[in-house]
Amino acid sequence: MGDEVPARSGPLVGMRVVEVGGIGPGPYAAMLLADQGADVVRIDRPDEDLRATHQVLLRGRRSVVVDLKSDIGLRTVMALVDRSDVLIEGFRPGVAERLGFGPDAALARNPRLVYGRMTGWGQEGPYAALAGHDITYLAVTGALEAFVGEGGRPVPPLNLLGDFGGGGTVLAFGLLAALWEARTSGVGQVVDSAIVDGVASMTAMHQSMIASGMWGAPRGGNLFDGGAPFYRCYRTSDDRWMAVGAVEPVFYRRLLEVLGLELGLATSQMDAAAWPDLRQRFQQRFAERTRAQWWEVFEGADACVAPVLSVREAASDPHLVARGTYAATSDDASESVSPVSLVSPGVAPRFSRTPGSVGWAAGAPGRHTDEVLAELGIGR
């Protein structure tokens, strides 16, 4: 039998979700729901263990291992569909249908079901059947081109923007929106969440800036892509970095004051022709001190400047510690695949009356198979 499941808390207590195992954005959407109290049962594939990359991402839900191509696999999915509010799957278009639990079959069993489909390209269109990853979706939406590295080479912002921003977060929003509508109509529906659509939605402000002429310089020469001297990172004397985001005039003047530069430079803040000279001035100034020394100066200056921390350093930042932004995750140490202590992001967003909670980290796949199958009345 599986491990005892801790009591859940959060505004989604009572919601039931079946997550057909995938990677990246689908699991992130399921994590967001589980963090807020939803009872998520994940169906993992036999002989697949994702804990090296997904141990935190798979937190807070029970894991069942069945072969989706077998009779017991389909029976398990459909039995979970019968009692669930949401189904999440991340296959290429048509795969769930071939396995027997596509939207038509699932909604016929449970008309109130919200059926979430997480893909990169969407369910239709010339690229729908193509393989892809975060970097290729960003490339086609125009987002990747704006992230400039050495020699003008586009550099992906990890896989945060596509997988987790335009992908999993948008899917979770779509699922909750469909559930809200189903409260009135009594009827579920399919949520087609494509990373390309989500990322395109996130470009709304930049599309406005392009249309108004505020964004049009070559890559690396615009307001938010590192072109502006007051919105970029600068190397310090100890080979670390400080991030500057002094966009508003009041913060820009404070930046100049702390750096000891003449306040007359404030008049040329938005003059792109002056930016190369300003960048050089700021670069020279930041190179005079260590990151810690600059942070000591800027911490109380309210100038929109902060140290660039590593992921490990961030877990110890006093502000993030005070808020519990990162937290330890309870887990059976014998099941952990992490060579260092497991750090987990806290629950976001936060609710005043019904707070969510960080779930247990993922253990071995299938640790709850017998327990869930017994609940469903399925023997094996």
What domains sit in the chain, N to C, each tagged with a CATH number? 16-202+324-376 (3.40.50.10540), 219-235+241-307 (3.30.1540.10)
* pLDDT at position 354 over 80: yes
pLDDT recorded at residue 118: 98
CA-to-CA distance for 111 and 105, rounded, in angstroms?
10
| Residue 7 neighbours by CB distance under 10 Å | 7
Across 3-7, 76-80, 207-211, 328-332, the highest mean pLDDT is recorded for 76-80
The confidence band for 166, taking pLDDT boundaries of 50, 70 and 90, is very high
* Omega within 30 of 0 (cis) for the link into 355: no
Classify residue 161 as exposed, middle or buried by CB count within 10 Å of its CB (0-12, 13-18, 19+): buried
Rama region for 100: left / alpha / beta (φ>0; ψ in -120 to 50; rest): left
Q: Are 200 and 141 in contact (CB under 8 A)?
A: yes
User: Region 116-128: what's the mean pLDDT?
Assistant: 98
pLDDT recorded at residue 119: 98
**pTM reported for the whole predicted model:** 0.93
- Mean pLDDT, the chain, whole residue set: 93
pLDDT recorded at residue 331: 53
Q: Looking at the annotation, which residues are catalytic?
A: 133, 163
* pLDDT at position 337 over 90: no
Handedness of CA 203, 207, 209, 210 (dihedral sign): positive
The confidence band for 104, taking pLDDT boundaries of 50, 70 and 90, is very high
Quick one: tokens of 130? Answer: 């193509």
pLDDT recorded at residue 5: 66
Exposure pattern of 133-145 as b/e (b: 16+ CB <10 Å)?
Answer: ebbbbbbbbebbe
* Omega within 30 of 0 (cis) for the link into 349: yes
pLDDT recorded at residue 333: 44
pLDDT recorded at residue 1: 44
User: Region 176-201: what's the mean pLDDT?
Assistant: 98
Residue type, 112: R
pLDDT recorded at residue 334: 46
- Lowest pLDDT segment from 74-88, 147-161, 229-243: 147-161
- CA-based nearest residue to 33, from 57, 55, 64, 54: 57
Instruction: Name the residue with tokens 């310090």.
Output: 236
Quick one: tokens of 204? Answer: 């709304």
User: Region 294-319: what's the mean pLDDT?
Assistant: 95
pLDDT recorded at residue 342: 80
User: Region 2-29: what's the mean pLDDT?
Assistant: 89
CA-to-CA distance for 180 and 188, rounded, in angstroms?
10
